[in-house]
Chain A
Amino acid sequence: SQTIHQWPATLVQPVGSPLSLECTVEGTSNPNLYWYRQAAGRGLQLLFYSVGIGQISSEVPQNLSASRPQDRQFILSSKKLLLSDSGFYLCAWRAPTSQPTDTQYFGPGTRLTVL
């Protein structure tokens, strides 16, 4: 069966510090991968998605970047965190067939607080 991991689970970082959040998927090959952010009162915002190694689509211009160095690894980064980067970050995967009925499966999330 497939599983998705995210770490760390929680993170407290000062403004201006770098960020690296990691997501890995097990039990599937060539998945579509997604990064979302939930900020208070703003719903679920898609940040990046990837359909293959090195292929990243950015949905929202911002202070963040994403990379996919391996097939089942997706990393969210920032060089300098802002207060507005605080939120709950969710990684998700989906089968590579891109059928409209394919389910997205979510990881447990990372709670980021920028002080």
Chain B
Amino acid sequence: AQSVTQLGSHVSVSEGALVLLRCNYSSSVPPYLFWYVQYPNQGLQLLLKYTSAATLVKGINGFEAEFKKSETSFHLTKPSAHMSDAAEYFCAVSDSGYSTLTFGKGTMLLVSP
């Protein structure tokens, strides 16, 4: 079965600092991976997704993620954090039948001035 693990339920950074949110996957088939963001009391919004076309994926709001097969990772990064980036971030992987997504437990990003 496919699964993702997000290390760290909370990550704190200062405004302007590098953001690094970790996601490791386990998959019996070639993985298709997603990062979503959720602002308080709202639905999830897609940040980016890995489609196997390129290992470095650029998304919205300046975020990007790199697929590393050797490390089974798909970490999310942003060079410089903004206050508006404070939200919960979810990594997800398509199941083997490609009908559903399996989500990680989420990482809350806190940005301090």
Query: Which residues from chain A sit less than 8 Å from chain B, CB to CB?
Result: 32, 34, 42-44, 46, 49, 51, 59, 88, 90, 92, 98-109, 111
* Most chain B C-beta atoms within 10 Å of own C-beta, residue among A88, A100, A111: A100
Residue from B43, B99, B102 within 8 A of A98 (CB atoms): B99
Total residues of chain B contacting the partner, CB 8 A: 23
Query: Which residues from chain B sit less than 8 Å from chain A, CB to CB?
Result: 32, 34, 36, 41-46, 49, 51, 90, 94, 97-106
Given known contacts A46-B103, A101-B51, A104-B44, what 8 new A-B pairs fall within 8 Å (CB)?
A: A34-B100, A46-B102, A49-B100, A99-B98, A100-B94, A104-B34, A108-B42, A109-B43
> For B45, what are the chain A residues with a Cβ–Cβ distance below 8 Å?
106
Instruction: Give the CA-CA distance A109 to B41 in the complex, in Å.
Output: 8
Whether the Cβ atoms of A44 and B99 lie closer than 8 Å is no
Which A-chain residue is minimally distant from B45 (CB atoms)?
A106
Which B-chain residue is minimally distant from A10 (CB atoms)?
B41
Instruction: Give the CA-CA distance A106 to B41 in the complex, in Å.
Output: 12
Instruction: Give the CA-CA distance A87 to B93 in the complex, in Å.
Output: 23
Instruction: Give the CA-CA distance A49 to B105 in the complex, in Å.
Output: 20
Q: Which 3 A-B pairs have the closest CB atoms?
A: A106-B43, A43-B105, A100-B32
Whether the Cβ atoms of A98 and B98 lie closer than 8 Å is yes
